[in-house]
Amino acid sequence: MSEKMKLYDMQDDDVWRQVFWMLKRLSSYALWKRKRDAWEVFAYAYEAAVKNWPKSQPEQMDPDMLPQIYELLSLYNEGVPELAKGHRFVWRVDGPLALTIDKAGTISRYFYTDPDYWERGMQLAPYPPPVEALHKLMRASEFNGEYAPTEVPDAPHMTARCPSPGSLLSPDTYKFASYELPYPVFPAPLPDVPDGSDLLVRSGQRVPRDGIWEPVRMDRDKAFGIVPVGAKRIESNGCFNYLVADGKAPFIDEWNEAHGQAERVATQPV
């Protein structure tokens, strides 16, 4: 196991609490309302830029992007009020808030396609200042891990959204080639993690209710290491994940020390 993986061990109490706090934050109405409001600011600024940008200025914003930008704002306006009512279906694969992430990704990849700065969906060089000002407004609606509460697509062997604590906690995951997202400020002290329930769901089975779930391993105690005896016991077996009701419980990535790589394994979230 790498030093970075050891740094974010779910057996560590601080990591345990930080991951739980992060998932509560990423699935909160407050965060998604902030995302929606930031996108609205960006949408209005982009429209103003398209209408008022001097034609003599070499950097021009694509007016054909506006319908996509406002379509995404409409999805926010549909989904955020439902979230305020406690309705989590907005994160189902075809739900309005899950769709915002996919559509925002498309807009960001094709944000400014001047060949001096962009190629095949990748930014190659810093944008000109007027373009970068709009780019920063767009990124203000983005949070690392925002995909965490969205449903895992129903496909064979799909793994959990958060494969490890580091996917939420490592500062490296907040740094990208052309921009950096702010790292969250954790409360002090971190709240306790509530006790789990006795509800067990295996990978591939339907999740009965929305919420934060813990992957676990179920074994039998062994006498002298060879004969299985006694009752089953439950051990933590990975990173917490937010799962949406009626979606299928995903597989998880588990580190194989012998092979030096992560492997997809089934689990029983609890």
> Pairing between strand 241-243 and 216-223?
unpaired
Average pLDDT over residues 129-158: 93
Angle between helices 129-139 and 96-109 (to 10 degrees): 160
- The predicted-structure confidence for 20-44, as pLDDT tens digits, reads as follows 999 999 999 999 999 999 999 999 9
Extents of the domains making up the chain: 1-25+148-270, 28-147
Please tell me the predicted confidence (pLDDT) of residue 57. 80
**What pLDDT shows up at residue 134?**
96
Whether 238 shows a pLDDT value over 50: the answer reads: yes
Residue 262 has pLDDT above 90, yes or no: no
Helix (H, G, I), strand (E, B) or coil at 230: strand
Tens of pLDDT, residues 162-195: 989 999 999 999 999 889 999 999 999 999 998 8
Q: Pick 118 or 5 by higher pLDDT.
A: 118
Peptide bond into 165 cis (omega under 30): no
Kind of pairing between the strands at 118-119 and 122-123? antiparallel
β-bridge pairing 261-265 and 252-256: antiparallel
- Look over the chain and give the mean of its residue pLDDT values, rounded to a whole number: 86
User: What average pLDDT does this structure show over 60-68?
Assistant: 93
In DSSP terms, which residues pair with 252 in a beta bridge? 265
CB 97 within 8 A of CB 89: no
- 82-134 confidence digits (pLDDT tens): 999 999 999 999 999 999 999 999 999 999 999 999 988 888 999 999 999 99
Q: Kindly give the residue spans of alpha helices, DSSP state H, lying in 11-141.
A: 13-26, 29-52, 66-84, 96-109, 129-139
**Residue 224, class by beta-carbon neighbours within 10 Å (0-12 exposed, 13-18 middle, 19+ buried)?**
exposed
Tell me the C-alpha distance between 82 and 95, whole Å: 11
Cα of 145 vs its chain's centroid, Å: 3
CA dihedral 182, 187, 191, 197 (to 10 degrees): -10
Helix (H, G, I), strand (E, B) or coil at 262: strand
Predicted pLDDT of residue 225: 45
pLDDT tens string 205-226: 899 989 999 887 766 555 444 4
